[in-house]
Amino acid sequence: MSLLAVEEVSKRFRGLTAVDGVSFAVGEGDIFAVIGPNGAGKTTLFNLIAGVLAPDQGAISFAGERIDRLTPDAICRRGIGRTFQLVRPFPALTVEDNALVGALLRRPKVEAARAHAHEVLRRLDLYDKRHQVASALTLPDRKRLEVARALATDPKLLLLDEVMAGLRPAETDRMVAILRALNRDSGITILLIEHVMRAVMALAARVLVLHHGAAIAEGTPDQVVRDQAVIDSYLGAEAL
């Protein structure tokens, strides 16, 4: 049974169909990528899964349970962590406290939560900066903090929304390495929206391509980049 099952999900905004009958499944321990041109509906899809929006049609199931009518905090408690496309650290709090807030979900005692937060920060190479105020961080650090914070909630599924955007190639590689190690060591399932093909090719086992809200291709990264429809609508012939 797949960990996340999205079935025939649609979402309309006053005449614009943002997500159009999309279906896919993510198995436990997989790394699954969703790609497509801007406006294809990727973030809307994420917001549907994360409970920020409710689908007009279709069903979303997580570990066998329907989650499409749950609130975002209930969904997080079920085991789905998410990052935001435009990072939203808690600006006045330190790096440590940011991660601590996440860790408090499963660890009511502050000291235990803090210890777990430290662990997570170490994994994301942020431990040394833990006393810095989040608003003073550089973008790559903020992106890693965003991931660390979500990770601190001990999710089974991690939703990453364009986490590579704005990073230089070296930083992208660093993030890819961290995510790969995470997936390998803890078996965490990762669903990511990405534009940076370098990262998609390096990370994802399966890729879904969206265009105008609908799924136009699904397969391994190699299959998808050779798909004519994908090339026409998004990648362009040079991507090969």
Binding site for another protein (CB under 8 A): 50, 52, 71-73, 76-77, 81-82, 84, 88-94, 97, 100-102, 104-105, 108-110, 113, 131, 133, 149-150, 152-153
User: Is the CB of 86 or the CB of 240 nearer to another protein?
Assistant: 86
Q: How far is the CB of 130 from another protein (least distance, A)?
A: 9
Helices and strands counted in the chain (H then E):
9, 10
User: Is the CB of 148 or the CB of 224 nearer to another protein?
Assistant: 148
How crowded is residue 96: how many other Cβ atoms within 10 Å of its Cβ? 20
Nearest to 165 by CA among 43, 79, 52: 43
User: Is the CB of 74 or the CB of 177 nearer to another protein?
Assistant: 74
Question: Which value, in Å, is the radius of gyration of the alpha carbons in the chain?
Answer: 18
Q: Which residue has the tokens 């409710």?
A: 54
Q: How far is the CB of 101 from another protein (least distance, A)?
A: 5
Buried b (16+ CB within 10 A) or exposed e, 137-152: beebbbbbbbbbbbbb
User: Is the CB of 5 or the CB of 52 nearer to another protein?
Assistant: 52
User: Is the CB of 82 or the CB of 206 nearer to another protein?
Assistant: 82
Q: How far is the CB of 179 from another protein (least distance, A)?
A: 19
Q: How far is the CB of 135 from another protein (least distance, A)?
A: 10
Question: In angstroms, rounded to a whole number, what is the distance separating the alpha carbons of residues 172 and 164?
Answer: 6
Q: How far is the CB of 50 from another protein (least distance, A)?
A: 7
Question: In angstroms, rounded to a whole number, what is the distance separating the alpha carbons of residues 223 and 34?
Answer: 14
User: Is the CB of 92 or the CB of 237 nearer to another protein?
Assistant: 92
31-35: strand order across its sheet:
80-82, 157-161, 189-193, 31-35, 206-211, 214-219
| Contact in structure between 156 and 182 (CB atoms under 8 Å) | no
Q: How far is the CB of 132 from another protein (least distance, A)?
A: 11
Name the strand (E) or helix (H) holding 31: strand 31-35
